[in-house]
Amino acid sequence: MIENISLKMAKVLKDKSEHPASEAVLSYSIQLIINTASILISTMILGIINGRFIEVLLALVSFAVLRQVSGGYHLKSGVLCIIVSTLLITLLSFASLDQTQCLILNCISLFLVVIFSPSIIERQTRISPKYFRWFKIGSILLVLSSFMMLNPVVTASFFVQALTLIRWRG
């Protein structure tokens, strides 16, 4: 559905302008904008409804920042990505962990980031693989910062994101 909408929008944009990008590139960019906006808007609305707006923002930011530097598994469908991400971020906003649980999850997250980060980013970035070690270092530093915060929402968000780094196949 999102793919069809973005293709139609890209075609209109290409037909009505002299934009140098191909329809495929425009469509991909439009899909990215639609997915991101849909996730942000839907999770913030659910956060307001649930009285967890600040926690939703914290989950969104912590999950997204670690994801940007560590990579991770991508769902095949834009709609599925929106649904899963919205539900996941909303659930993460309800994280209730004590200090010991935060420390345990942070240790597991750190282990996963050290072993698997960056994961599955080869086709997601134009950055040369020779710089990927900086992604790993950034990922490690982010998870280490969670040891100082011991915030349940940040800890849970980092943990779930770290799980997406595991390569189950190939």
- Please tell me the distance from the alpha carbon of residue 159 to that of residue 117, in angstroms, as a whole number: 13
Read off the pLDDT band of 170 (50, 70, 90). Answer: low
pLDDT number for residue 163? 95
Handedness of CA 37, 2, 21, 131 (dihedral sign): positive
Q: Which residue's entry shows tokens 């929008």?
A: 9
pLDDT at residue 107, as a whole number: 98
Cα–Cα dist 167/122, whole Å: 13
| DSSP letter assigned to residue 21 | S
pTM of the entire predicted model: 0.87
Q: What is the pLDDT of residues 35-85, one digit of tens each?
A: 999 999 999 999 999 999 999 999 999 999 999 999 888 788 888 889 999
Average pLDDT, the chain: 89
Q: At what angle do helices 78-92 and 2-16 cross, to 10 degrees?
A: 120
